[in-house]
Structure 1
């Protein structure tokens, strides 16, 4: 590490054991070689913005304060809408369930009885002659 950052090994050791604090030039050098400086300083992983996020930040900084406020409100509203639609859509998609009214089932149509030539079905309509006992 010392060779990579053009410092002495003793200086690197002092930084690592906490005897001295690294200066801004050292931290800049860490970033240049791909080390997460936020992690070095805080122990928490930092997240670098993507190119698109950096462009968004740059555009945000280039407008006046009232426009910034409107942009924040717009993005907050869009985020809420996105979360609301995602929850509904993802829940049913993940469950593999089609949306329907709870507690209701579609009635299965019964087969129509077959009639003979004189309009009689041949089956008793009700009473003791019925097979199901009703």
Structure 2
């Protein structure tokens, strides 16, 4: 997962929206504190306020940003049930909600979230 674009919300506060991509799928994420540059590797993505997580057999993976606000609709494979991580291509996202008990690793799930947050390790000088 690499950063493809950066929209600074506040450089002083180190807040930005970053476009994270694996080359096929991409999503806009909130990043704070953000010291990122285009091309940097993103180590982790997390959802904020995930809801309506359910099985979606036969559905192709997708990430769609809501037309208003920072929310997204996502669909991908359950990669790690214990840590609630889904994969959409090579993008891994940790869901801040429990995955229903009848869904197992490898199943396709879909859900909505209020925002996707990115964690980028600070560069040492």
Compute the TM-score of the two structures, normalised by the length of structure 2. 0.18
Relative contact order, higher structure (CA 8 A, sep 6+): 2
Compute the TM-score of the two structures, normalised by the length of structure 1. 0.18
Which structure has the greater CA radius of gyration? 1
